[in-house]
Amino acid sequence: MTLGSSHTPPIRAVDLFCGVGGLTHGLTRGGIDVVAGYDLDRTCKYAFEANNKAIFVEKDVAELTAAEIGDRLGDHAITLVAGCAPCQPFSTYSRTGRADRSSEDWSLVANFGRLVQDVQPDLVTMENVPALQDHPVFKEFIQALEGYAVTYRIVQCATIGVPQTRKRLVLVGSKLGGVAPSLDWPAGDKVTVRQAIATLPALQAGERSDNDPIHLACRLSEINLRRIRASRPGGTWREWPVELRATCHRKVTGDTFPAVYGRMEWDQPAPTMTTQCFGYGNGRFGHPEQDRAITLRESAILQTFPNDYQFVNKGDRVKFSHLGRLIGNAVPVRLGEKIAQTLRSHVDAVICSRN
């Protein structure tokens, strides 16, 4: 698009691999008009559309064409293609069998690059796990952005207002003005677990809030109840009486997993939210004070979804493993908002330089 107005034109976007809408919601809060989200998982549709004005399109991104995206974006605004290809192949939580994975593991990132090449939006942004930058597919993605001024960096989300220590690779590119949008984000005050979730109603393990279907805590076995009662915030299972330790932790190799069966600390950010963050034994996901793991709602808030973000339709059954996966895989809303602010500032700067 040709820039010549003294007023910032709208930025219209599509979100690839949109999931339940974390990136879309953040971009929208940052002033970008997201018109559509694409994802192969139809179970994301309710949450995506219930909380965002964009439409959900159930489609494999590998089968998506430039013409389809172009029809959504139109030609009356600055255009943006955004997204986060599913990151399990690169995740440190998914190491088993990595050497045996086929090239299909990397095809989602390649298809993202293909669509940017074909659509030629004014702006592009991608968010993913840090390990992606060391893989050949990332270099190929950068090559697909020929004609764009591109920058990328590893962002510690705790420095931008996300109450968890989550590191993400953020890339932004622009065809406007010959310079890349700046990712030189100054570190702000950290948001703590206390600030994020302390006001939610107290629950016991296995209990659900009457007013919120996803403020729901997993049940704990008797041995795990004893373990969490023996745990202090920020401590490890090494501090437990020997009889409470799991068999695997009594072995020498068990020493390499000190953070499992841990409690979070009130006055620190939470650990990285994973797809299993609702389980006490899956990491440091014990509530700082209550004898239970964090709830699905608490994990969503720690991902900076609004407290009232709707994930399930009224009356639908809540499945921990399913909803935990959708929440854990989401782009933190605050990160999406920060990216939107960066892109809008970039567009403003380009317009000012041309006037």
Task: Map out the domains of the chain as residue ranges.
Answer: 11-190+331-350
d(CA 286, CA 280): 5
The catalytically annotated residue of 18, 44, 84, 87 is 87
pTM for the structure as a whole: 0.91
Is 11-190+331-350 a CATH 3.40.50.1820 domain? no
Of 4, 8, 24, the residue nearest 344 (C-alpha): 8
**Which ranges in the chain belong to alpha helices (H)?**
22-29, 45-51, 66-73, 107-119, 136-144, 193-197, 222-229, 296-302, 320-328, 333-354
pLDDT digits (tens, 9 = 90+) for 180-238: 999 999 999 999 999 999 999 999 999 999 999 999 999 999 999 999 999 999 988 88
What is residue 213's DSSP assignment? Answer: T
Chain-wide mean pLDDT for the chain? 90
Q: Is 87 part of the annotated catalytic residue set? A: yes
Q: What is the pLDDT of residue 9?
A: 83
Q: What is the pLDDT of residue 107?
A: 84
Q: Which of 5-19, 63-77, 181-195 has the lowest mean pLDDT?
A: 5-19
Q: What is the pLDDT of residue 98?
A: 35
d(CA 341, CA 313): 31
Band (pLDDT 50/70/90 cuts) for residue 258 is low
